[in-house]
Amino acid sequence: MEGKMSELLKKIESEVLGLSHQERAFLADRLLSSLGEDVLTEFDAAWVTEAQRRYGEYKAGRRSGIDAQEVFAEADRIVE
């Protein structure tokens, strides 16, 4: 069984590495989320707090929204 799992993991890894940065980030988030809340690091918690603060500013009209396509395009430029 271990040999089969190792081959399966190699196949999955190969396919996943062929995905875009955005798709890999989404998949990584889903996989980490499936492990439960115990994997939330201090860094993650800080980003959650920052996201909540920014959303509060947006809802209060103190921050404008940014088109998702712009956000993802910028993220792709930074990662590449």
Q: What is the pTM of this model?
A: 0.43
pLDDT digits (tens, 9 = 90+) for 61-79: 999 999 999 998 988 888 7
DSSP for 46-65? Answer: HHHHHHHHHHHHHHTTSS--
Tokens of residue 32, six digits:
């980490």
1-59 pLDDT, tens digit each: 556 778 899 999 999 999 988 899 889 888 888 887 666 678 888 888 999 999 999 99
The DSSP code for 18 is T
Q: At residue 57, what is the residue type?
A: E
Distance CA 17, CA 24 (A): 7
Whether the CB-CB separation of 21 and 78 falls below 8 Å is answered with no
